[in-house]
């Protein structure tokens, strides 16, 4: 199919853009910054903020690597090392991976669904502010030199008052609960948006796989996050108020914490991983110039993973000496969870098999992802074999496994997604040439850095050790790993620079630089505040490939369809459609910019600070602000949305 | 395309390093010296075969699929239907492999950690950051060094009165956690004589990195002599110097934290020192047990193991000399 | 990619549905209820986990919770769902009066329950620091009571709006969503009550 741009009037109808700008634009400057509820601005912020955390905690990893480069090294002492290790893990999981995916979801999902914003734009802004404030809250510990040092899963009793008396661990525990609010609210928003805001005709079996992956992720969040909130929450109750949940001397249980943590912990890793596969499922078909193979199987796999992921958490506790029979069950389920991934894997292979692959930068990252995730997944399957896990658990073999999956199978797709979608977000393309360079640096650096860790695990190197003696055969591999880590870092740095360069000097992208198939490519780049002046009508899984020209809906006068056409955009509305077959059902007046979300988030932040420093007054002030904001919110509901 | 060679070449290079490294020096799990380690190494080599096959084949598919369509306009057609790919590659073949892995799991875990008749019972308690070791039946204590007879079933009871630790001797078998409020038992056999490095594998705070130990697997005979010697009460200090040393030990704060059987020293904060003279290492396998290191440790253990729970103890050089002589005389 | 013509004729795709679907806030609240339920499920799971890993339950020196009074007020709480239903029905038909009094009735019953809970906590002869039993008891039951309390606070807002006549047959999503929350809180007690008040009696 020839590369054709969708003429913009197709989606914009005959309306004058200026007028719409008037209606939709945020207030300029600072007020607009704090009051905006535009899913695109919020999405971009999510991405930028998350990447800031990525680079910070990445740099910490580099310091750790320098310390481990040679035996008996003295770059940092054990105290600092343990803090770096803890912040690195916590930040990467809570403040980089989860939010960066939420960011892409925020920006791309409404565009792919063909709607003018998320279902709850104000909640959307709210969850972003919570994310930022919890990030600041967490890093404050580092800035005042009281960084937590309990490891990213903060096992008790080490993290209980008795063994970690300082305020350090309170920063950690409260931050976990704090950021959980953001993740949960975001998930609710994704679910409702996906079910109620799809363009007419986009029946449930026509939604892009990326949307499926976000949906699957959101449901996992709903049922998993409460568990970690409890784990950290109960720990904090013990630490702050002296309850006895994790205190063995008072009938508390040490393992209870582990169960709660990993009941969230395992689904969490799929919460990170599933949207990443969604990105790959968007990139590969476009670059292979053909629809994704076995769409229904892939969608099913995404849902299946969400379910199975709740039945494997004990595989993180194989060494705790529970009854072998009980653990064997979780061992088996952990093996079964391989199948959904296998399905996705071969769907991607089949897609490329019959297509013609263009080796663009996003595709390179896609292929890199496949080759890396294959290994990470296989080592995962090995870890699921309980007796083997007894040997390698808590060794560098595990560190290798989860960097192959986290840093490989999640970060590579994210970098691919930047090259893939940033042109849509900014209207400018990143340099392909530097993209290729960045990819190869990252790919080679990555394998140098993390492949050797498998072997280190075999040679008996435990994880989380601040230093090690020479003469154990660990020295060379660690040196290689460190070098690789730095090469990888430079690779990411190249993309970083490429990105900023593109922001101002990049080549114009046009509406549809990759000849994509989903709706986001039909509007302008960057999209207008209202995304679509008139909502497109979908009759295929690949509207931009199959529906030429792309038809747009118009009002037939009645309540249900009145916001489909340009007049909907003029009235600051967006259509509401039915859950499964996406027929127009009603109209949502989208709320206008407001400070509410920011205030609410600040209230909560103050409340947490109050807990942290055990100042009742501060806590009360926070709670008060919270109640006021909530009341105001409830008060305005009928006014703002029907 | 280049993508294929990069990782494979890399793998080869590193695998050779692997072989090179897995000499006696490393506490390697593929250099098993115990029953459990043997079984698990077996499982590993099986999985290694499968994994290599899966990686090479699937990886091959990826590369071929990526380059296949090159030069064509619409991509190369193929008789294989998409769903066939998914079914065969994604479900049937993996399912078969998974059944194999499942069988391996069940088979291995059923054969391991089973109670046996007439085991040697040992009690290990995890401390911050060292190991208290005791032989309940022989009724004596030691620390940071576990002696076991080869061939006899061993039953190590694992407890902690502080945080979670994990007992790991890679060449003998897998890990078992030491969890406060829960009594775990690890059952295994040593199959070869030797001195094996043991490590604390669960992050336990500041000095987790330096919480290691040694397992000395020896012939039944030499084990018995070792055990017998430990059951004897300590003989009076041989030399005059050592005698003075004993006085110093009892006078200085030492006795408050350390126990030496047959003396008035009954401290329990630090390791039992009854046989310190015959132990191979100091500070939970942090430094070798030489005269120099010993005096260094006593004067200021913080330089050797920052943050460990033994304070620096200033002593006059004479006292120190005597003290060291005394400690080294304790066999 | 040969351009396929639309599989479904466009007009049909845009044809509005009969039978009104649920408003987005309803979906939002439904999701919220899902995670909240998980939170309570987690607490109840923890309760039984702690119970299983302890020899005597409740621990020595603590007798089983008293059932009678608790049972009575449980019914008060569960009963409060009825006026709430009436209120919903009312506004669906556009009858603001039933709405106002329904809400008020539910509020009074709820308040009675909270009052009882506070009294009950006051009566308890063990604290939440003494042992894990106390901790999980206070935390879970307390969290539920707090939910009821929150419900009362929100109710005030909703009631004021009701009295100011801000709700109509067409526009009453706040009522609908608030009622969901209220019924949810009652439903949670259906599980928390048997677990924390009754189960200790079963040895
Ligand atoms: C993105 C995150 C991610 C992903 C996707 C995975 C995927 C998997 N993980 Fe991993 N895991 C982590 C993140 C992740 N993991 C983290 C962070 C930890 C450590 C936490 C900590 O301790 O700090 C961990 C730890 C961990 C453990 C505990 C190790 C220990 O601490 O002792 C186990 C054990 O079962 C495990 C198993 C698996 C399995 C079976 C998969 C499977 O989903 C993999 C399935 C995929 C494939 C297998 C490849 C594709 C399939 C095919 C090509 C078909 C053919 C293949 C076969 C037949 C094998 N993981
Ligand atoms: C998404 C998750 C994620 C990611 C991306 C990474 C990335 C990296 N990780 Fe990390 N890691 C974890 C998640 C992750 N990690 C987790 C969960 C743990 C467990 C923690 C625990 O045990 O509690 C862990 C633990 C962990 C350990 C084990 C610590 C221990 O057990 O003692 C090590 C050791 O090498 C390590 C290394 C690295 C390295 C070198 C990178 C590299 O990829 C980082 C590369 C660096 C950057 C990307 C940023 C800097 C780059 C620049 C500033 C650009 C340069 C600029 C120019 C050139 C202009 N990580
Ligand atoms: Cu003890 Cu780590
Ligand atoms: Cu897991």
* Rounded mean pLDDT, A266-285: 96
Q: How far is the CA of A91 from the centre of ligand 2 (A)?
A: 10
Q: Over chain A, what is the mean pLDDT?
A: 91
Give the pLDDT confidence score for residue C61 in this predicted structure.
Answer: 86
In ligand 2, which atom is closest to the CA atom of A57?
Answer: 49
**How would residue C4 be classed by pLDDT, with cut points 50, 70 and 90?**
very low
- Rg over alpha carbons for chain C, rounded to the nearest Å, is 22
Nearest Cβ partner for B62 among A324, A367, A386: A367
Check: CB of residue A147 under 8 Å from CB of residue A175. Answer: no
Strands B154-160 and B120-126: parallel
* Confidence band of C168 (pLDDT split at 50, 70, 90): confident
Q: What is the pLDDT of residues A335-350, one digit of tens each?
A: 999 999 999 999 999 9
Q: Tell me, what's the pLDDT at A475?
A: 94
Q: What is the average pLDDT across A600-628?
A: 87
Low-confidence residues in chain B, pLDDT < 50: 1-4, 22-23
Closest by Cβ to A546, choosing from C4, C129, C157: C4
Q: Nearest residue on chain A to C13, judged by CA atoms?
A: A201
Is the per-residue pLDDT at C8 higher than 50?
no
A151 CB within 6 A, ligand 2: yes
Residues in chain C within 8 Å Cβ distance of A542:
1
pLDDT in tens, A564-585: 888 888 888 898 888 888 888 8
| For residue A14, pLDDT beyond 70 | no
Q: Which atom of ligand 3 is nearest to the CA of B211?
A: 1
Asked if C42 is an interface residue toward chain A (Cβ–Cβ < 8 A), one would say yes
Q: Chain B residues with CB inside 8 Å of A357's CB?
A: 65-67, 69-70
* Three-state DSSP state, B205: coil
Chain C closest-CA separation from residue A25 CA (Å): 24
Range with lowest mean pLDDT among A27-41, A77-91, A277-291, B131-145: A27-41
Residues of C in contact with A579 (CB under 8 A): 21
Give the chain C residue nearest A285 (alpha carbons).
C1
> What is the reported pLDDT for B20?
52
* Tokens (6 digits) for A92: 């990467």
**Pocket-forming residues, ligand 1, beta carbon under 6 Å:** A 269, 272-273, 315-316, 318, 334, 337-338, 341-342, 345, 374, 377-378, 380-381, 383-384, 389, 393, 398, 401-402, 405-406, 409-410; B 54, 58, 94, 97-98
| pLDDT, tens only, C44-84 | 999 999 999 888 888 988 888 889 999 999 999 999 999 99
- The counts of H helices and E strands in chain C are 7, 0
Buried b (16+ CB within 10 A) or exposed e, B111-138: ebbeeeeebbebbbbbbbbbbbbbbeee
Beta bridge partners of B188: B154
Contacts of residue A238 in chain C, CB cutoff 8 Å? 135
**For residue B297, how far is its CA from the centre of ligand 4 (angstroms)?**
42
Per-residue model confidence as pLDDT tens digits over A196-249: 999 998 999 999 999 999 999 999 999 999 999 999 999 999 999 999 999 988
The verdict on the CB of residue A466 being under 6 Å from ligand 2 is: no
Give tens-digit pLDDT for A503-556: 999 999 989 999 999 999 999 989 999 999 889 999 889 999 988 788 888 777
Question: Is the distance from the beta carbon of residue A100 to the nearest atom of ligand 2 less than 6 Å?
Answer: no
* pLDDT at residue A368, as a whole number: 97
Question: In a 3-state reduction of DSSP, which class is residue B125?
Answer: strand
pLDDT digits (tens, 9 = 90+) for A375-420: 999 999 999 999 999 999 999 999 999 999 999 999 999 999 999 9
Within 63-122 of C, beta carbons closer than 8 Å to A belong to none
Closest CA to A494 of A443, A446, A439, A438: A438
CB B131 less than 6 A from any atom of ligand 3: no
Q: Tell me, what's the pLDDT at B16? A: 55
pLDDT at A254: 94
For residue A1, list chain C residues with Cβ-Cβ distance below 8 A: 1-3
Contact state of A387 with B91 under an 8 Å Cβ cutoff: no
Nearest residue of chain A to residue C6 (CA atoms): A539
> In this complex, how many residue pairs, one in chain A and one in chain B, have their CB atoms less than 8 Å apart?
310
Q: Which residues have CB under 8 Å from B63's CB, separation 6+? A: B1, B3, B4
Residues 6+ apart with CB under 8 A from B75: A288, A289, A290, A354, A355, A356, B68, B69
Residue B1's closest chain A neighbor by CA? A359
Q: What mean pLDDT is predicted for residues C167-192?
A: 92
CA distance A506 to chain B (A): 27
């Amino acid at each position: 199919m020839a590369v054709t741009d969708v003429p913009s009037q197709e989606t914009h109808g005959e309306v004058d853009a200026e007028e719409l700008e008037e209606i939709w634009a945020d207030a300029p400057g600072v007020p607009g910054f704090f009051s905006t509820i535009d899913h695109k601005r919020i999405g971009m912020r999510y991405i930028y903020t998350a990447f800031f955390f990525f680079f910070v905690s990445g740099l910490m990893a580099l310091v750790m690597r320098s310390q481990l480069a040679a035996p008996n090294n003295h770059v940092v002492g054990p105290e600092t090392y343990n803090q770096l290790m803890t912040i690195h893990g916590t930040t990467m999981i809570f403040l980089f991976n989860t939010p960066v995916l939420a960011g892409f979801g925020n920006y791309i999902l409404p565009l792919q669904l063909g709607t003018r914003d998320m279902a709850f734009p104000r909640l959307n802004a709210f969850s972003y502010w919570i994310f930022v404030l919890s990030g600041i809250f967490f890093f404050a510990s580092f800035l005042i030199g009281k960084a937590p040092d309990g490891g990213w899963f903060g096992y008790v009793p080490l993290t209980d008052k008795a063994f970690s008396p300082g305020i350090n661990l309170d920063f950690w525990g409260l931050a976990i609960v704090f950021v959980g609010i953001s993740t949960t609210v975001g998930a609710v928003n994704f679910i409702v948006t996906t079910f109620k805001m799809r363009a007419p005709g986009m029946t449930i079996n026509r939604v892009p796989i990326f949307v499926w992956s976000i949906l699957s992720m959101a449901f996992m969040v709903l049922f998993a996050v409460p568990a970690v909130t409890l784990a950290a929450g109960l720990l904090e109750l013990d630490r702050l108020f002296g309850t006895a949940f994790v205190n063995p001397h008072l009938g508390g249980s040490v393992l209870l914490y582990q169960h709660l943590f990993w009941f969230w912990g395992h689904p969490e890793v799929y919460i990170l991983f599933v949207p990443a596969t969604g990105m790959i499922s968007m990139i590969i078909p476009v670059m292979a110039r053909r629809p994704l193979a076995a769409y229904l199987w892939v969608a099913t796999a995404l849902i299946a993973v969400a379910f199975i992921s709740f039945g494997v958490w004990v595989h993180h506790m194989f060494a705790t000496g529970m009854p072998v029979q009980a653990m064997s069950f979780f061992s088996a389920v952990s093996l079964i969870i391989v199948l959904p991934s296998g399905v996705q894997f071969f769907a991607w292979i089949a897609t490329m098999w019959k297509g013609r692959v263009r080796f663009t930068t996003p595709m390179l990252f896609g292929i890199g992802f496949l080759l890396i995730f294959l290994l990470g997944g296989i080592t995962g399957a090995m870890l699921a074999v309980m007796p083997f896990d007894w040997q390698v658990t808590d060794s560098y073999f595990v560190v290798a496994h989860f960097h192959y999956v986290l840093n490989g199978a999640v970060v590579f797709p994210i970098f691919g997604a930047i090259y893939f979608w940033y042109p849509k977000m900014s209207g400018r393309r990143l340099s392909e040439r530097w993209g290729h360079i960045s990819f190869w640096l990252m790919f080679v650096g990555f394998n140098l850095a993390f492949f050797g860790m498998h072997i280190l695990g075999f040679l008996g190197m435990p994880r989380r050790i601040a230093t090690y003696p020479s003469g154990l055969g660990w020295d060379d591999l660690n040196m290689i790993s460190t070098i690789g880590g730095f090469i990888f870092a430079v690779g990411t740095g190249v993309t970083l620079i490429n990105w900023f360069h593109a922001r101002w000097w990049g080549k114009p992208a046009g509406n549809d630089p990759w000849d994509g198939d989903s709706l986001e490519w039909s509007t302008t780049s960057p999209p207008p505040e209202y995304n679509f002046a008139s909502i497109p009508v979908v009759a295929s899984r690949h509207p931009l490939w199959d529906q030429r020209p792309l038809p747009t809906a118009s009002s037939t006068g009645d309540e249900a369809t009145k916001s489909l056409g340009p007049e909907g955009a003029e009235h600051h509305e967006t259509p509401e459609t039915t859950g499964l077959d996406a027929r127009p059902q009603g109209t949502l007046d989208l709320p206008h910019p407001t400070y509410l979300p920011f205030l609410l988030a600040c209230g909560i932040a103050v409340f947490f600070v109050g807990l942290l420093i055990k100042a009742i007054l501060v806590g009360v002030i926070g709670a008060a602000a919270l109640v006021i904001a909530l009341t105001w919110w409830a008060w305005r509901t009928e006014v703002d949305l029907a | 395309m280049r993508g294929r060679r990069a990782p494979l070449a890399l793998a080869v290079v590193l695998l050779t390093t692997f072989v090179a490294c897995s000499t006696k020096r490393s506490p390697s799990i593929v250099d098993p010296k115990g029953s459990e380690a043997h079984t698990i190494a077996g499982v590993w080599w099986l999985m290694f075969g499968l994994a290599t096959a899966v990686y090479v084949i699937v990886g091959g598919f990826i590369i071929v699929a990526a380059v296949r369509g090159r030069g064509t306009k619409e991509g190369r057609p193929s008789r294989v239907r998409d769903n066939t790919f998914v079914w065969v590659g994604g479900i049937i073949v993996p399912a078969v492999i998974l059944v194999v892995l499942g069988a391996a799991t069940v088979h291995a875990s059923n054969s391991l950690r089973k109670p046996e008749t007439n085991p040697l019972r040992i009690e290990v308690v995890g401390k911050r950051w060292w190991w208290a070791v005791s032989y309940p039946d022989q009724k004596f204590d030691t620390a940071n060094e576990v002696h076991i007879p080869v061939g006899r079933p061993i039953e190590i009871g694992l407890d902690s009165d502080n945080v979670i630790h994990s007992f790991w001797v890679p060449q003998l078998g897998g890990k078992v956690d030491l969890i406060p409020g829960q009594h775990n038992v690890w059952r295994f056999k040593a199959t070869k004589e030797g001195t094996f490095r043991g490590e604390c594998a669960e992050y336990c705070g500041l000095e987790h990195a330096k919480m290691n130990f040694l397992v000395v697997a020896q012939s039944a005979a030499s084990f018995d002599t070792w055990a017998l010697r430990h059951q004897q009460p300590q003989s009076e200090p041989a030399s005059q110097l050592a005698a003075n040393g004993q006085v110093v030990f009892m006078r200085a704060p030492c006795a408050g934290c350390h126990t030496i059987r047959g003396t008035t020293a009954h401290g329990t904060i630090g390791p039992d020192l009854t046989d310190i003279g015959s132990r191979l290492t100091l500070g939970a396998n942090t430094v070798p047990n030489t005269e120099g290191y010993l005096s260094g440790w006593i004067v200021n253990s913080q330089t050797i193991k920052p943050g460990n729970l033994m304070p620096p103890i200033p002593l006059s050089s004479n006292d120190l000399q005597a003290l060291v002589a005394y400690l080294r005389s304790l066999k | 990619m040969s351009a396929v013509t639309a599989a479904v004729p466009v007009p049909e795709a845009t044809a509005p549905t009969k039978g009104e679907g649920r408003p987005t806030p309803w979906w939002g609240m439904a999701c919220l209820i899902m995670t909240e339920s998980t939170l309570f499920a987690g607490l109840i799971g923890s309760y039984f986990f702690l119970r299983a890993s302890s020899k005597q339950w409740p621990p020595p020196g603590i007798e089983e919770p008293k059932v009678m009074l608790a049972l009575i007020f449980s019914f008060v709480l569960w009963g409060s769902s009825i006026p709430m239903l009436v209120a919903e029905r009312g506004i669906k038909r556009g009858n603001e009066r039933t709405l106002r009094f329904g809400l008020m009735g539910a509020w009074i019953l709820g308040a009675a329950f909270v009052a009882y809970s506070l009294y009950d906590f006051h009566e308890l002869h063990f604290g939440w620091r003494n042992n894990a039993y106390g901790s999980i008891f206070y935390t879970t039951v307390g969290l539920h009571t707090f939910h009821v309390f929150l419900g009362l606070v929100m109710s005030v807002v909703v009631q004021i709006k009701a009295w100011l006549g801000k709700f109509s047959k067409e526009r009453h999503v706040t009522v609908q969503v608030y009622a969901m929350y209220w019924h949810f809180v009652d439903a949670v007690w259906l599980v928390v009550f048997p677990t924390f008040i009754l189960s200790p009696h079963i040895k």
